[in-house]
A and B are shown apart, each in its own frame.
Chain A
């Protein structure tokens, strides 16, 4: 399957060039922040799933 990514790359390239002033250190800090926020989200999802699972088990037992 061929995917024409050129127009997307060009568009993203223009956007990215405007971001080149961001230092490597700053980009790493951005990455850390995104990772930590994703981590908390994943934790919340896991917790909710566990909660829903316990409700389901409770219903099945009753």
Chain B
């Protein structure tokens, strides 16, 4: 993980990316118990909004010996997916990220409430489990998820989730 954090810091210094935040399962583990995941998801902010947005990142990694592996780039033990912040929700999640600590290194990480609402939006079984895990670890309260869901017009999805899994209605 140290290798990945150092690589991202290098990308920031070289202005290949302008911002980033860890999200997905890797971010979840900051707030809950450990979960198994196949890859590391990194939200990135880049100036370029063209379809070739990832090209400079792939080139930067390749120059340093980090090669593509499927849809990811292998960095040490982790296949890493660099995902441009693609909508208002992911942009806010990245901009408002907190700074966490992995073995003494500062790492930008998506807040628990944003992780929950991003999971709500994607809506797979594992995303629903993520929301439940975040709530039960007290990383986020359901009212905070509700408020954020309203802000991003996901209130209906939240009400459905709440009715199905939380029995709060």
Interface residues of A (CB under 8 A from B): 1-6, 9-10, 12-13, 16, 19, 22-25, 27-32, 34-35, 38
Which of B102, B137, B164 contacts A1, CB < 8 Å? B164
**Given known contacts A9-B132, A12-B136, is B33 in contact with A27 (CB within 8 Å)?**
yes
- Residue B143 interfacial (CB < 8 Å): no
Residues of B within 8 A of A27 (CB): 29-30, 33-34
User: How many chain B residues touch A (Cβ–Cβ < 8 Å)?
Assistant: 28
Closest CB of chain B to A4's CB: distance in Å?
6
Interface residues of B (CB under 8 A from A): 1, 25-26, 29-30, 32-38, 77-78, 100-103, 132, 135-138, 163-167
B100, A5: Cβ atoms closer than 8 Å? no
By secondary structure, the A interface counts as helix
Residues of B within 8 A of A30 (CB): 34
Which of A2, A16, A23, A29 contacts B167, CB < 8 Å? A2
**Given known contacts A5-B165, A25-B102, A27-B29, is B136 in contact with A34 (CB within 8 Å)?**
no
Measured CA separation A34–B163 after assembly (Å) = 33
Residues of A within 8 A of B163 (CB): 2
Measured CA separation A10–B166 after assembly (Å) = 12
Which 10 A-B pairs give the minimum distances between C-beta atoms? Answer: A30-B34, A27-B34, A9-B136, A25-B103, A27-B29, A25-B102, A13-B136, A34-B36, A24-B30, A31-B34
